[in-house]
Amino acid sequence: MDKWLSKEHSVTLNLMPVEYELRASLSWLSNLRWIAGFSVIIATWLVGFALDVTLAKLPLTLIGIGILIYNTVFWRQLARIQFDLSGTSSTPRILAWMQIVADWIAMILLIHYSGGIESPAIMFLLLHTILAAILLSTEETFIAATIPSLLMIGLAALEYYGFVPHVFVKGLLPSTLYQNLKFSLGVLSFFICTMFVSAYLVTRTTRRLRIRESEMLQLSHELQEAYRRLHALYESGQAVTSTLELQEVLDRLTQSTAEVMKTKGCTIRLLQEAGTSLCLASTYGLSEEYLQKGCLLVNQNPLVREVLSGRIVTVGDISTEDRLQYPIEAIAAGFKSTLTAPLLGRDGPLGIIRVYCTSRMCFTEEDEQFLSIVASQGSIAIQNALAYQAMQNLEEAKRKFILMVTHELRSPVSVVRSLLRTMTGGYAGELSTLQLDLTQRALRRADFLQTLIDDLLDLAAEKTGFKVQEKIEAVDLTSILDTVIERYTIPAEEKKISTIANIDRAQTFMIEANTAEIDRAINNIISNAIKYTPQDGSIKINLTHSALYAKLEIADSGIGIPEDALPHLFEEFYRAPNAKAQIKEGTGLGLIITKDIVTRYGGTIQVSSQESTGTAFTILLPLKTSKEV
């Protein structure tokens, strides 16, 4: 399993700053070498004139040119590795040693042709030892101190015994000093001590700095991981709480958990109603073959019982675990360890969440804590989704019940209304004044009951999906509106209400809908306007074009709607208090049915009202285009 911080990854992280510093220093050293090469050439020709010193100009000039040549080669090689940002390549370290060795050779030649043991350039060899102490390991640093020391000893011995001719720098020091054994030993002793003491002091300092650097890197990495986990937990929480659909909650929870913990897969099993088994509810990253093993039986799985009791259980090695119900299947799927946490609700366990790993002993205490937080957060989301699902099921059952009851009531109520009409019409014999009055009252109540039943049937059928699909066709909104207005002409005249219809007859108002339903939607609004507008009031009806929509405005000068009642106007069975006070009868379903009809055909309905002043409804319905017509 890819862990957040494996040992190998940790080592790589600790070396990365050193590697990048090494690259930067190699670049700096290469630039410095350009200066050194030109300086050797220029100094060779200027020193003789300025200090009256005789130098071996040709060899020293060739050494300067040689430095520039091999520096060109190293500079090109360094340019190739600058784009490797992994920090794990060994090329920079090899290149560093190649440059150091080349510089040693150049420096030994420079020292030889500038006086050998007498040369003031000897101390330049110290530069690479200090650089190695800063950038390389302790062992490499002492190697970098030993090799130039041996080279200087070898050069001094070769010149002393005459194997290599001594290059005398006239005007600098006496020519016989290189043959003075005490002088040579003193210079070499001082040089070697300086090299090794410098190496020791610098490496001692850099070792402590590297330890601190490693600790800082480790701490930085842990902080980054903590932030990443916290951020991932926040995003996971948003994902699972952004919906109340149970399956979406479970799927988002398993996916986010597996991705954040970088595990092979994740499953959620929910406890069944009987409490005897845990069945798979959601999975992420696991094969279909492994998922076919079936439900986990609580009485046959000790590990499950332990988790359901509230504990987080880590299985470091599945092959040695005897509490699992399906260990063979898990091993066959390539799993070697698991981490399981309980999903606990307010009234008891809901189930378990489990992550799978393909390596042994890969879960830490931090993993346990993280999964525990995920499980707690997920449990809340699951409970909310279950509660929402239960509420939806209850609402569905309620609507189906209303649909069934109202459907059963429709036939007997129709019979009652028919019999009452027969009596009030005198077909069953002449009724006395009192009998006629009572019969008419009963008929009005039966008519109201029929209206209520019709409204309930329409509303319940719409909500439950049992509504019979009405025929949808191109209909003329103007014709429907004229029919409804004519229907209420006499009731309006009886209350001396003036009805003003302003219809743009030059325009065509064709919409895609069912005639009966659009008629009912408009009928509900106009009937309310007639019902709640006092005598000598007015109703204004406007039908105009509004972009691609037909705009129908119905405004009355009635009792209006209180401001605090407006937000509830399209709720089931709701009636404004002033409407109840004026007219007792009413179902409170007309406007919600109207809204359902309008929205089903792609339209919108808005209302504005002021109590005691009047109410205005605005309906927008999409028009059929000329091509569709």
Structure confidence by residue, pLDDT tens digits, 307-345: 999 999 999 999 888 888 888 888 888 899 999 999 998
Q: What is the DSSP string of 389-436?
A: HHHHHHHHHHHHHHHHHHHHHHHHHHHHHHHHHHHHTTTT-PPPHHHH
Query: Which of the residue ranges 118-122, 145-149, 253-257, 578-582 has the most confident prediction, judged by mean pLDDT?
Result: 145-149
Q: Tell me, what's the pLDDT at 10?
A: 39
The answer, yes or no, to whether residue 117 has pLDDT greater than 50, is: yes
3-state helix, strand, coil in the chain (%, to 5): 60, 15, 25
Region 567-583 average pLDDT: 86
Distances (CA, A) of 594 to 251, 470, 476, 539, 618: 38, 15, 18, 19, 12
Q: Spell out a b/e string for 565-583, using b for 16 or more CB atoms within 10 Å of the CB, else e.
A: beeebeeeeebbebbeeee
The answer, yes or no, to whether residue 539 has pLDDT greater than 60, is: yes
Q: Could you tell me the sign of the dihedral formed by the alpha carbons of 278, 280, 282, 287, in that order?
A: positive
Region 253-267 average pLDDT: 87
Average pLDDT, the chain: 82
Q: Tell me, what's the pLDDT at 622?
A: 94
Q: Tell me, what's the pLDDT at 99?
A: 87
Token pair belonging to 504? 């743009």
Q: What's the whole-model pTM score?
A: 0.46
Residues in a beta bridge with 538: 498
Contacts of 483 (CB under 8 A, 6+ apart): 519
Residue tagged 């005691």 (tokens): 612
User: What one-character DSSP code corresponds to residue 602?
Assistant: T
Residues in a beta bridge with 614: 610
Between 109 and 628, the higher pLDDT residue: 109
Distances (CA, A) of 305 to 281, 312, 320, 351: 18, 11, 19, 11
Between 465 and 273, the higher pLDDT residue: 273
Model confidence at 513, pLDDT cuts 50, 70, 90, reads very high
Burial class from Cβ neighbours inside 10 Å (0-12, 13-18, 19+) for residue 284 reads buried
Between 537 and 401, the higher pLDDT residue: 537
CA dist 302 and 513 (Å) reads: 62
Region 12-27 average pLDDT: 58
User: What one-character DSSP code corresponds to residue 177?
Assistant: G
Model confidence at 21, pLDDT cuts 50, 70, 90, reads low
Region 503-524 average pLDDT: 89
Question: Residues of the chain with pLDDT > 90: what percent?
Answer: 23
Q: Tell me, what's the pLDDT at 7?
A: 36
User: Which pLDDT tens digit goes with each residue over 335-377?
Assistant: 999 999 999 988 889 999 999 999 998 898 888 888 888 888 8
Distant-in-sequence contacts of 489-495, Cβ < 8 A, 24+ apart: 491/530, 492/530, 492/539, 495/530, 495/533, 495/534, 495/535, 495/537
Residue 200 CB neighbour total at 10 angstroms = 15
Q: Tell me, what's the pLDDT at 414?
A: 73
Which of 84, 66, 74 is closest to 30 using CA atoms? 74
User: Which pLDDT tens digit goes with each residue over 208-227?
Assistant: 877 887 788 778 777 777 77
In the structure, how many helices (H) and strands (E) does the chain have? 17, 13
The answer, yes or no, to whether residue 523 has pLDDT greater than 60, is: yes
Contacts of 458 (CB under 8 A, 6+ apart): 467, 593
Distances (CA, A) of 321 to 313, 326, 327, 330, 360: 12, 10, 8, 11, 12
Burial class from Cβ neighbours inside 10 Å (0-12, 13-18, 19+) for residue 475 reads buried
Query: Dihedrals φ, ψ of 382, to 5°?
Result: -65, -45
User: Do 519 and 483 touch, CB atoms closer than 8 A?
Assistant: yes
Q: Tell me, what's the pLDDT at 468?
A: 47
User: What one-character DSSP code corresponds to residue 339?
Assistant: E
Model confidence at 551, pLDDT cuts 50, 70, 90, reads very high
The answer, yes or no, to whether residue 479 has pLDDT greater than 90, is: yes
Q: What is the DSSP string of 61-98?
A: HHHHHHHHHHHHHHHHHHHHHTT--SS--SHHHHHHHH
Identify the weakest region by mean pLDDT among 7-21, 336-350, 531-545.
7-21
